[in-house]
Every structure is written in C-alpha cells, then in structure tokens.
Structure 1
Amino acid sequence: MNPAIKTEITKRLLSAAGNPISGQQLADEFQVSRTAIWKHIKELEQDGFIIETIKKKGYILQSSPDTLQKEQIEQYLTSNRFGHPIHYFVECPSTQPIAHKLAQENAADGTIVICEEQTAGKGRLSRVWKSSKGKGIWMSVIIRPDIPPIKAPQFTLIAAVAVTRAIEDVANVRAEIKWPNDLLINGKKCTGILTELQADIDRVQAIILGIGVNVNQDMEEFPEDIQHIATSIKMVSGSHVDRGQLVARILHHLEIYTDLYVKHGFEPLKLLWESYSGTLGKRIKAVMIHNEIEGVALGITNDGVLQVRTDDGKVHGIYSADIEIQKD
C-alpha cells in the first residue's frame, strides 16, 4: 500500500466535515483501482477510524481516533517548516534522544518527534515527567537557527510564549509562565519545557526542544503525590481538547517566534514573555546549586536572565534556579 495515498485519503476524510467522498474520484485522482482505495479505507478502520460506506455516494467519516498520528496534526498545520516531517510513535522511552539522533543524521529544521506515551520522560535536571498515554502532548522539535550557542537558552522562553499562545487560541485558557521553563494554570503546572543543544564552539547545529503538555487528563490520572500541583487544560476548560490542533498551533507560533528572534533578537519577544509571566512582581525564592536568595522578581534581561531584588535593595541576576513563588 502507498502511505502517501493513505495520508491524502485521511486528510480528505477529516476535512470533508461529514460529507461523502467518492471512491471513484479518489481512484481516478491517484490513478489506482477502486480496490486499492477500499484497501486503504480498511487500513484506516484498523487504525481506529469509523467510516461509513454509502452506495453511489462514497465514504463518510463518522469518527476518528484520538491520536497524534501525523494526519491528525497535518490537517491543522499552517507552519511552513515546523511539523514537516512528523515522526510519530505510539510509545517510546523519550522523544528527546530520538530527536537528538535524527538531528545528528541531518534531519530538517522543524522536524518533530511525537508520541502518545513516554515510558521514561524527563524534565529539567533529569527529573521524571509523567506522560499519560493519549492524554497529553509529548514532543521534541528540532530547530536549526543561525545563532551562536550563547543565544540558545532563550529558546526555553520563546517556547513558553508559543505554548501559552497556542493554549489560548485552542482552549481559551490563559496560562502563566513560571521562569524558566514551566507553564501554570491557576497556580498548577500544565507544561514543562526542556532545551538541549548540539553545537560547535561558535555555531548552533541544532536545538532539541522538548515540550510536555498536560491536555486531557482528569485529576485521578495524575499520581497522588503531584495531584496538588498538577493540572490539565481539560480540567480548567471543562472541555476535551483536540491535541492535533493544539500541536499545530504550538508549531505555528514557535516558527514565527523563532524567525523573529533570529532576525530581531529577543527584545520584542521579551515583551510578550513578560505579558504572560506569573513570576514578575512576585516575591520568590530562587534555589540554586550552592545557595538560595529571596526577593522580588523584577523582570528578565535580553539574555533571559531573571532579575531579583533582595530586601537589601541589591539586584541579582539569576541564570538557572528552581523558583518558588512565595504566598502572600
């Protein structure tokens, strides 16, 4: 069977909005037999699509599986590079090492690796990230910006803005960014971002951007020990979210902001980041490897460094830390 034809048939069914698609027209267009089209339809049914066949009218899609197969994302894609191509897995230990390997094999700028479930997902500082099957977005994006390595850390902040905007677009839910790499909704974590690098001394070869989003989980699907700090978009919005649409919107914004950063630097994106920040103006504790400080978060520099004013009036630049927002 021809995977490209199967992909096109899937796209047609998804975009037909319940209207019939003629099997003969598909056969004529792809220059194959009606039997070949029928076999592709049967394959789609095995994948979880429910398709009704109506004599003399054609095929009607009744329902599609809640998966992140590439067709489920491609129907919404508006980006030019990001999401082309998509490497999809039902299950994998983590999308990050797969993306690293693909990047080393010269995978194109914007290539993504995405799965339904990670069995060994990780977050910042190698912490475990729980990746519920079929409930979230677990993906890595390969980005090849023409920048020196010193400018790579800002991609964590760029990704945070892209995901925040996408959640707002698709679910009408406002998330806040907690410096440096988390998104919170109503004070609970829904998204983590992990930025890793392949680089020469003077030039980035690839940024491997890991993005994990809790999308359609219910509270009982989180481990008990994190239920008080974790949330999902569905829990807040009250509605099931189309994960394919959300992935496409993330990629849309991420491509735009990547190009903006490479062309104009971080300053225009800094304003966006600050508008979504849930950290600035708050009293925080910044826990670093060798010490910790408490003070008020003032803002970030164009290098993404968090500025914190302590009680003695001094302003400290925080390059990397765990942030605890203090209760009022």
Structure 2
Amino acid sequence: MKDEILRLLKGNVEGFISGQEISEKFGVSRTAIWKYINQLKIDGYEIEAISKKGYRLISSPDILTNEEIAGSLNTKYIGRSIIHFDSIDSTNNKAKELALLDEKNGTVIISEEQTMGKGRMGRNFISPKGKGIWMSIILKPDINPLNVAMVTQIGAAAINKAFREMKIETLIKWPNDILLNKKKICGILTEMSAELTKVNFLVMGIGINVNLDEGDFTEEVKEMATSVKIETGKSLSRKEIVSRILNNFEVLYEDFIEREDIEKTISICRENSILIGREIRVIKRENSINAKVLDIDNKGELVVQYEDGKRENLISGEISIRGMKSYI
C-alpha cells in the first residue's frame, strides 16, 4: 500500500491529492493513509500536507528502491525486478541464495549497506550505509563457463560508460576495477554456479564508493581507494548511477549473449584502460614478474610482454596486477 501511494504521489507532482481521494482509490481509511504518508516521510520523502487540499510530493530521497530507479530504466529485463534491503551481510550471498531458488534472470539485489561485503580473493569491501552502491545482478546466460570472464568485462565497460556519460573520467584496471585519479572507486566480483559445459547462473557483484568521506576509509585503504565525492568535491545521485549502469549493461550484455558480439565492450575497455602501455608487475601466486601491457585482445585477454621478450595473453581471474611502485 505504501508503494502504491508513493506511485500515486509521483504521478501527481504538479498538484495536491486529497486524503479522501486516496482513501477512496485504495479502499482504506483516511487515518490509514495518514499513517502511510508518515512512513514515507520517515523513509526520507518530503511530502507537503495542507488541510482541505491534501498531499503533494516535494522531493524524494536518494535511496535505491525499485520505486526510485524503475522510472529511469529503459531495459527489458535487467533491473526490472529490484530487491532492496536496508542492511544485509552481502548482496552476492543473497543473490546466490535467490538464484538457487530460481529467481529470474536480470534481478538486482541492492542494499543501503553491507556488513560483510567482499571483494576478490576474500578481501573485505567497505560498504557504509547510504553512501555507495552495493548491488548484485543475477544472470543466467547460455554460454560456456570458459567465457564467463567476458561478462565481468561487460560490467566494467557498462560502469565506465555510465560515469563517462556523467562527465566523470574514470578508467578501467583490467579486468574488474574502475579507477578515478588513479585510485579505486569500484570493484566487480563475479561468482558462478556451473557444470562442465553449462552455466547455471552468474552473480555479478558491484561495489561503488560514491559519496563516501575521507573518514570512511581506513589508513591502509586510503593508499589505493577513494570515492567519487572525494575526487570531484560533490555528492552524486546514486539512483542515476545505478540506472545508467543497468541501461548500459543490458545493451552490451545482449550483444554478447544473443549475437556473440563483444566488440563494443572490448573497445570501451581498451580505450579507457589505465594499463595499456604501462610497466606492471604480474603476480601469479607467489611469483611476481615485470611486464609491459601491450593491448587487450578481441577476446578480452590482456596482452603483456615480459622483460625477456616473451609475450603472453592473460585470462581474467588467474592473476593479480599491481603497478611497479604502487596500486597503479
């Protein structure tokens, strides 16, 4: 009922709707309507109430609910079902749980905070309440498990494109990090349930430091991580970022899944790569080898050349990459 009243208010932003009109429309008492209006105010909605005129929505909070995001989506199925939490241990954990219960393709799990957010290789991911984007997308592609790494790069390309549309010049650290001013603002963690030649489902976790402040980061993390707010000096709409990401993701994802076309994704990753042309260290388990990044090939593999002249194509997920002297 609360969501239905909200939709009604959103559809009448130019004028007031009387409590009697809302009461008759939904078949509940005016006292019940008043209670739902108060609940919306607690959620952060600014609603003007004037005797004999009714209610009018003044402004909406930057919360990541279906009601706040759906209106900006032009997707067919990505994000058309958004399951929102105020707090959760990990959106990836919940997404995997729901995928096993046959939650539909394209469903997005999103939370205002994570208490046990995680990155690659079991690292913790700082996820404070209301300041970032902590979400996971359930995907059920009919692809060979060997090609799952490409989906991660589709995610990176979609996120980078979304920020570029907002005039924020982010770069991609192959294959799953987004950087701003050479510091990480976003990480992607893709997890898979698969058989030998079949993917049952994927869960793509996306964590973005949008409006975090300096005090939200530990001293250790500050060396390599930042937020969009810190780097640009202004707060951004998380709702806008989410909708842009989902819109861009579906276009690139469908190119790959339906037409086996990864060209646009690779082009974005290549043109916005922070690694190509750089000297890096390739870390494989306990070994660290100096190399120069030459390219990202048409399969999304990173092409490097070692100091002895040998070239190698690196596959997403098999290595860690660090700059020669720092994170990048």
The TM-score with structure 2 as length reference comes to 0.91
Instruction: Evaluate the alpha carbon distance shift between residue 105 and residue 326 of structure 1 in structure 2; reply closer, same or farther with a 3 A threshold.
Output: same
Q: 1:86 aligns with which of 79, 82, 86?
A: 82
Q: Per-residue displacement from partner, 1:149-180 (whole Å, max 9, x unpaired)?
A: 111111111100111112223x4211100012
Identity %: 40
Count of residue correspondences: 323
Whether the 8 Å contact between 1:296 and 1:309 is mirrored in structure 2 is yes
Q: 1:256 aligns with which of 247, 251, 262?
A: 251
Q: Per-residue displacement from partner, 1:201-252 (whole Å, max 9, x unpaired)?
A: 2221211000000000111221121112211111222221111221111111
One-letter amino acid matched to 2:162: A
The alignment partner of 1:189 has SS state of strand
Instruction: Evaluate the alpha carbon distance shift between residue 172 and residue 20 of structure 1 in structure 2; reply closer, same or farther with a 3 A threshold.
Output: farther
Q: Hey, what does 1:241 align to over in structure 2?
A: 236
Q: 1:301 aligns with which of 297, 303, 308?
A: 297
RMSD after superposition: 2.2
Q: Is the aligned partner of 1:178 residue 2:176? A: no
One-letter amino acid matched to 1:322: S
Q: Hey, what does 1:59 align to over in structure 2?
A: 55
The alignment partner of 2:142 has SS state of coil
Question: Within 5 Å, which residues of 2 pair with 1:1-328?
Answer: 2=1, 6-14=2-10, 19-27=15-23, 29-30=25-26, 34-169=30-165, 171-262=166-257, 263-319=259-315, 320-326=318-324
Q: Per-residue displacement from partner, 1:284-320 (whole Å, max 9, x unpaired)?
A: 1111114222121112233322110123322112222
* Counterparts of 2:289 and 2:198, CA distance in 1: 34
**Which range moved further: 204-213 or 227-236?**
227-236
The alignment partner of 2:95 has SS state of helix
Whether the 8 Å contact between 2:20 and 2:30 is mirrored in structure 1 is yes
* Counterparts of 1:29 and 1:177, CA distance in 2: 50
Instruction: Evaluate the alpha carbon distance shift between residue 147 and residue 22 of structure 1 in structure 2; reply closer, same or farther with a 3 A threshold.
Output: farther
Whether the 8 Å contact between 2:252 and 2:264 is mirrored in structure 1 is no
* Counterparts of 1:218 and 1:65, CA distance in 2: 19
One-letter amino acid matched to 1:271: S
Uncovered stretches (5+) of structure 1, i.e. residues with no partner: none
Uncovered stretches (5+) of structure 2, i.e. residues with no partner: none
Whether the 8 Å contact between 2:13 and 2:58 is mirrored in structure 1 is no
**Which range moved further: 104-113 or 72-81?**
72-81
* Counterparts of 2:264 and 2:164, CA distance in 1: 20
One-letter amino acid matched to 2:324: Q
* Counterparts of 1:59 and 1:75, CA distance in 2: 21
Instruction: Evaluate the alpha carbon distance shift between residue 185 and residue 14 of structure 1 in structure 2; reply closer, same or farther with a 3 A threshold.
Output: farther
Whether the 8 Å contact between 1:27 and 1:37 is mirrored in structure 2 is yes
The alignment partner of 1:153 has SS state of helix
* Counterparts of 2:70 and 2:120, CA distance in 1: 29
Q: CA deviation at 1:105?
A: 0.7
Whether the 8 Å contact between 1:79 and 1:255 is mirrored in structure 2 is yes
* Counterparts of 2:164 and 2:33, CA distance in 1: 39
The alignment partner of 1:247 has SS state of helix
Instruction: Evaluate the alpha carbon distance shift between residue 214 and residue 18 of structure 1 in structure 2; reply closer, same or farther with a 3 A threshold.
Output: farther
One-letter amino acid matched to 1:215: V
One-letter amino acid matched to 2:276: L
Whether the 8 Å contact between 1:173 and 1:236 is mirrored in structure 2 is no
* Counterparts of 1:166 and 1:60, CA distance in 2: 32
Whether the 8 Å contact between 1:151 and 1:303 is mirrored in structure 2 is no
Instruction: Evaluate the alpha carbon distance shift between residue 38 and residue 201 of structure 1 in structure 2; reply closer, same or farther with a 3 A threshold.
Output: same
Instruction: Evaluate the alpha carbon distance shift between residue 16 and residue 184 of structure 1 in structure 2; reply closer, same or farther with a 3 A threshold.
Output: farther
**Which range moved further: 241-250 or 135-144?**
241-250
The alignment partner of 2:48 has SS state of strand
Whether the 8 Å contact between 1:194 and 1:209 is mirrored in structure 2 is yes
Q: CA deviation at 1:188?
A: 0.5
The TM-score with structure 1 as length reference comes to 0.91
The alignment partner of 2:187 has SS state of strand
